[in-house]
Amino acid sequence: MDTQNLLFSFFCFFLLSLFSGLLQVVEGSRVSPFAFRPKKLFVFGDSYADTGNNRKDSANSWKVPYGITFPGKPDGRFSDGRVLTDFVARYLGLKTPVAYRWRKEQAGRLKYGMNFAYGGTGVFDTLVSEPNMTTQIGFLQQLLDDSVYTKRDLKTSVALVSVAGNDYSTYITRNGSAEGFPAFISSVVSQLTGNLKRIHNLGARKIALSALQPMGCLPQSTVRFSFQQCNETENTLANLHNQLLVQAVNNLNKQTNDTSFFVLDIYNAFWTVLNQKQAHQVSTPAFENPLQPCCVGVSAGLKCGSVDGHGEKKYTLCSNPKSKFFWDAVHPSQEGWQAVYSTPDLRNSLKQLW
């Protein structure tokens, strides 16, 4: 091979290597320069995603000691600090979108998207008199009609949809039968599928739907076992929900000939953390007795944040919220969410946003 051909070969190899390197996902950017780069985040769902929409006079999320880790006082998040929405926004390189209730007071944050999630709500009406998911999507439709956002905004956006099981809690409270539970799960997933289609039709480029967490491992279920074991029956039902969810999402992607819809593997992310015996080398702690919450009411019927008629607190609080995966009977602490966010289960799911 003569010198000219040798130089030409090296030059081609260099270009090939450079181009291949550009296509690789790197830790700093996570995404190739040719990939979709979301500019806004729109959020729908419940308390796992709510950042301040519930009414102050009715939601515990506005009571002390909620928010003690971040921002240092109650601000409507159902935790001592940050929740799922905050971590997904961080992953996208965005600031947390403004809560719908505060859109006029914080108009400067509209450019990051908007959070329509309300704690306690579901795809159907629940025991909480706040907007269900259908109504939440209607809020976005109205903002489009009012030109607060445009179709172009939606084309460069991601939607996060959180479903943490309030429909199922309502079903149980209303004395739904065990025999009817599978059929009810199917109806929830069917309604949810319609909601996802509607969000897609409004223009959202990518739609991330949370899988149901292991409901039998929530403190409200494990308290009967002294926080030592999960309720496997409830976890089985959660798995059924998730199986139907994956099928629905796969069908939606086939129908739209796209990959717009995907599931965030919240179930296995929770499971990984709750069953961890020792801390991972990177950012995922092992929690001592992870099923026991930090903040609980002092007796049945009382909750974290409860006070009596004289304003005396009727709850107990752990000395260090960072040592607990769960903040209260249902919701992870900020450290719990950080651990979930750090699992390979969730990180691999989030990669589909690109």
Q: Could you list the active site residues?
A: 47, 328, 331
In the three-class reduction of DSSP (H, G, I as helix; E, B as strand; rest coil), residue 102 is classed as: helix
Give the C-alpha separation, 20 to 245, whole Å. Answer: 35
In the three-class reduction of DSSP (H, G, I as helix; E, B as strand; rest coil), residue 99 is classed as: strand
Q: Crossing angle of helices 181-202/166-173, nearest 10°?
A: 150
Asked whether 55 and 102 are in contact (CB, 8 A), the reply is no
Give the C-alpha separation, 307 to 31, whole Å. Answer: 48
Give the C-alpha separation, 185 to 242, whole Å. Answer: 10
- What one-character-per-residue DSSP string does 186-244 give? HHHHHHHHHHHHHHHHHT-SEEEEEPPP-GGGSHHHHGGGTTSS--HHHHHHHHHHHHH
Of 319, 329, 112, 134, the residue nearest 215 (C-alpha): 329
